[in-house]
Amino acid sequence: MGYRILETDDIPAYLHERGHWEDVSDIHVREVSDGNVNRVFLASSADGTRSLALKQALPWVRVAGPSWPLSPDRADAEARAYEQLAKVTPDEIPGIHGYDPENYALVMEDLSDLEVLRTLLNEGASYGPETSPQIGRLVARLSFTTSDFGMPSAERKALIAVSVNPELCKITEDVVLSEPYIEHEHNHWHEGVADLAAEFRADARLRTEVAALRHVFMTSAQALLHGDLHTGSIMVGVREGAHVVRVFDPEFSFVGPIGFDLGLYWANALVSEERARSLGRLTDHADQLRLSWEAFETEFRRLWPARVDTFFDDAYLDRFLAKVWTESLGFAGTEIIRRIIGFAHLTDLTTLPDPVPASRRALLLGRELIVRREELSSPDAVRQVVASLG
Ligand SMILES: Nc1ncnc2c1ncn2[C@@H]1O[C@H](COP(=O)(O)OP(=O)(O)OP(=O)(O)O)[C@@H](O)[C@H]1O
Ligand SMILES: [Mg+2]
């Protein structure tokens, strides 16, 4: 039938046709798209005992419409990422019921009983002891098993080939890894940080360091990434008395540098800390970088003895992890900066009564993480930078 753009009223027949739902008279559907890019529908039975979520990629950016075309192939990338994640960390992603490549539509578990982590944090919640360790472990499992340590060489080459995601990588290369450091129509900022935006554009050293990180992003095919691992791509909640974490929206997935996933998470954790500080409600925010890194490192080291290529020795593991750490800090810095003076800003800051002090601190922190990443050798060193921001 070809690619059909599904509307709310089409969903019952579609779910029936795809074998997801028997009795179509029983379905209630509502659209819940609150992201910028795709459409998301929730379907539930009249008695509320069954529900499913459906995400469809349109050939453009949803909020912009046909004037901003974007290949729906990003849904293939999302489905591929879930396929790998399901093998190694099935409990931390939505259950996937099926992917329809003809319609770029993914049918998955309804997570609407959970809350997006950013929303909770903005409302004043703490992270709690489990979320960041779970994220660190998830990154370790996905990255180890899709690296040359976890996957035979030929299989890896095939994964790299099939996982190219050129349009979404280009968005990152532009929006995160260059635009904030040049004059660009996408850039905008609060007038209270205009001086820093100008300073950053004029800072040759900063620009060269960002160029280095951009080149790492473009060339370092270490492992399959989530690609957009910010606090808006994580849902948390409690089910049957147990804390649950679900990572979703991996449409930016490709084979790239592991530090990009950790760095995005850290950037968002550090900005959430500045929000909490400015509101006088800091709790466990300052622990999250360390907790996620330690869980990542512990899990990666736990998997290491099972590596498929033992020419990579233990000393090389230490060297490799040190490189991932350093690159993560750099990518964290670029994500902080772009979220304040670049294209898409963070509600963590924009909803503050006065976003300026927290935004200034975050920008200065971002720059330090980029230019001093080689000398910041531990989570404590990062804490010292935060403490020195004044
Ligand atoms: N499985 C699900 N169950 C319930 N709600 C969901 C599910 N998947 C997505 N949503 C809701 O839809 C929103 C958008 O989903 P998602 O982030 O996957 O879409 P997107 O268009 O790619 O967003 P973005 O612009 O952030 O890239 C989520 O923030 C969430 O509120
Ligand atoms: Mg998305």
The DSSP element (H or E) to which 116 belongs, if any, is strand 115-116
| Residue 64 or residue 325, greater confidence | 325
Q: For the chain, which residues make up each domain, given as ranges?
A: 26-109, 115-387
> Which ligand has the shortest distance to the CA of 39?
1
Distance separating alpha carbons of residues 107 and 96, to the nearest angstrom = 6
Token pair belonging to 1: 């039938």
Report, as an integer, the average pLDDT of 186-215.
98
Question: Which residue is associated with the tokens 């200065």?
Answer: 364
Report, as an integer, the average pLDDT of 193-212.
98
**Pocket, ligand 1, Cβ cutoff 6 A:** 32-38, 40, 42, 53, 55, 94, 108-112, 116, 232, 248-249, 251
The CATH classification number of 115-387 equals: 3.90.1200.10
Picking from 56, 60, 47, the residue whose alpha carbon sits closest to that of residue 10 is 56
pLDDT in the model for residue 298: 99
Taking CA atoms, 6 is separated from 78, 103, 105, in Å, by 18, 9, 9
> Which ligand has the shortest distance to the CA of 253?
2
pLDDT band at 329 (very low <50, low <70, confident <90, very high): very high
Report, as an integer, the average pLDDT of 10-36.
93
Report, as an integer, the average pLDDT of 175-202.
98
pLDDT in the model for residue 1: 66
Residue 105 Cα to ligand 1 middle (Å): 13
pLDDT in the model for residue 34: 86
pLDDT in the model for residue 28: 96
Residue 37 Cα to ligand 2 middle (Å): 6
Are 223 and 255 in contact by the 8 Å Cβ rule? The answer is yes
pLDDT in the model for residue 283: 98
Q: Is residue 388 scored above 90 in pLDDT? A: yes
| Ligand 1 binding pocket mutation candidate from 30, 32, 96, 176 (most atoms within 8 A of CB) | 32
Q: Is residue 66 scored above 90 in pLDDT? A: yes
DSSP states of 2-64: ------GGGHHHHHHHTTS-S-GGGEEEEE---SSS-EEEEEEETTSS-EEEEEE--SEETTT
Distance separating alpha carbons of residues 47 and 27, to the nearest angstrom = 10
Taking CA atoms, 329 is separated from 125, 131, 141, 289, in Å, by 25, 20, 20, 10
Helix-helix angle 288-303:131-145, to 10 degrees: 40
Distance separating alpha carbons of residues 143 and 146, to the nearest angstrom = 5
Residue 78 Cα to ligand 1 middle (Å): 12
pLDDT in the model for residue 2: 85
Q: Is residue 343 scored above 70 in pLDDT? A: yes
For the chain, percent helix, then strand, then coil, each to nearest 5? 55, 15, 35
Taking CA atoms, 257 is separated from 74, 217, 219, 304, in Å, by 19, 6, 8, 18
φ and ψ at residue 260, rounded to 5 degrees:
-70, -40
pLDDT in the model for residue 261: 99
Distance separating alpha carbons of residues 57 and 11, to the nearest angstrom = 14
- Name the least confident of 59-68, 134-143, 337-346: 59-68
φ and ψ at residue 258, rounded to 5 degrees:
-55, -35
Distance separating alpha carbons of residues 209 and 323, to the nearest angstrom = 15
Q: Is residue 288 scored above 80 in pLDDT? A: yes
pLDDT tens-place string over residues 99-141: 999 999 999 999 999 999 999 999 999 999 999 999 999 999 9
Distance separating alpha carbons of residues 302 and 348, to the nearest angstrom = 35
pLDDT in the model for residue 235: 98
Are 143 and 223 in contact by the 8 Å Cβ rule? The answer is yes
Picking from 231, 328, 248, the residue whose alpha carbon sits closest to that of residue 81 is 248
pLDDT tens-place string over residues 229-265: 999 999 999 999 999 999 999 999 999 999 999 999 9
Q: Do domains 26-109 and 115-387 have the same CATH topology?
A: no
Q: Which amino acid is present at 216?
A: V
Picking from 138, 130, 86, 87, the residue whose alpha carbon sits closest to that of residue 108 is 86
Cβ neighbours for 59, distance < 8 A, ≥ 6 positions apart: 3, 66, 69, 70, 71, 72
What is the CATH superfamily name and number for domain 26-109?
A: Phosphorylase Kinase; domain 1 (3.30.200.20)
From the CB of residue 27, how many other CB atoms can be counted at a distance below 10 Å? 20
Residue 222 Cα to ligand 1 middle (Å): 27
Q: Which amino acid is present at 219?
A: T
DSSP states of 231-252: GGGEEEEEETTEEEEEE---TT
If phi > 0 it is left, if psi is from -120 to 50 it is alpha, else beta; for residue 366 that is alpha
What's the mean per-residue pLDDT of the chain? 97
Q: Is residue 332 scored above 80 in pLDDT? A: yes
Q: Is residue 273 scored above 80 in pLDDT? A: yes
